[in-house]
Amino acid sequence: MQLKLKCECGQVQGLLTIKSFSDGNNITCMCDDCQCFAHYLGKEDQILNKNGGTPIFQTTPNKMKITQGNEKLNCVALSPKGAKRWFTSCCRTPVGNTVSAKMSFIGLIHNFIDFNSIEESERLQFKNFSNHCMGNFGRGELPKNTSPKFPLGLTLKIMKTILHGKLFKTYQPNSLFNIETGDPISPLHIIPKDEIAKIKGKFS
Ligand SMILES: [Zn+2]
Ligand SMILES: [Zn+2]
């Protein structure tokens, strides 16, 4: 299955190639950091669902490829050791969350995935089957199967993928990091603490 990746204005594009929907984890993360990122981009209305959740597809970096507009990818973090969060400078579309160059993990944010590029039956799987996580930060009436934190089963699955990724180098090819130096392809900007406090004050 091949899904097109595309920012809102179309200047940044890529491809996600997976065997099936189960070739990753479809989650909706309601944590305050993901909410903060959406507000930082000024795109909370487009990104967050009614519970303040960000729909994300977690997979490995070798399955995604940026095919144009690499120079428009920006990287921020909420703290020096926090997740490296990517977005496009052209239209502030969120791209995904990563950890580091050799950590075989990327959480692609649905806004960057062009779901019109696949069949409707496939599209419905992404839209209808999600693990609702971090409900402690959620707003309104949460879906019945929401986990208050990040579920242990998923954490173990991700750890297994990352370990497998270390052995089989599924973190490369990598569109977002220079594998030799370990640096993000765009300089990392740490959002100042006072700016984060101001943003979080708006929604929590
Ligand atoms: Zn754009
Ligand atoms: Zn989150």
Q: 73 CA to middle of ligand 1, Å?
A: 9
Q: 200 CA to middle of ligand 2, Å?
A: 13
Cis amide bond preceding 173, omega within 30: yes
pLDDT in tens, 13-44: 999 999 988 889 999 999 999 999 999 999 99
What proportion of the chain, given as a percentage, has pLDDT over 70?
100
Q: 89 CA to middle of ligand 1, Å?
A: 7
Instruction: Please report the pLDDT score of residue 12 as a whole number.
Output: 98
What CA–CA distance (Å, rounded) separates 138 from 45? 15
What CA–CA distance (Å, rounded) separates 112 from 82? 21
**CB-based contacts of 177, cutoff 8 Å, min separation 6:** 61, 98, 100, 101, 171, 183, 184, 185
Q: Which residues surround ligand 2, an ion (CB under 5 A)?
A: 29, 31, 34
Q: 30 CA to middle of ligand 2, Å?
A: 6
Instruction: Please report the pLDDT score of residue 10 as a whole number.
Output: 98
Instruction: Please report the pLDDT score of residue 74 as a whole number.
Output: 98
- Structural domain spans, the chain: 2-203
Q: 65 CA to middle of ligand 2, Å?
A: 23
CATH code of 2-203, in short, is 2.170.150.70
Instruction: Indicate which ligand has the atom closest to the C-alpha of 94.
Output: 1
- The pTM assigned to this predicted structure is 0.96
pLDDT in tens, 57-74: 999 999 999 999 999 999
pLDDT at residue 201 greater than cutoff 90? yes
Instruction: Indicate which ligand has the atom closest to the C-alpha of 96.
Output: 2
Instruction: Please report the pLDDT score of residue 120 as a whole number.
Output: 94
Instruction: Indicate which ligand has the atom closest to the C-alpha of 112.
Output: 1
Instruction: Indicate which ligand has the atom closest to the C-alpha of 48.
Output: 2
Instruction: Please report the pLDDT score of residue 3 as a whole number.
Output: 97
- What are the two backbone dihedrals, phi and then psi, of residue 56, each rounded to the nearest 5 degrees? -135, 145
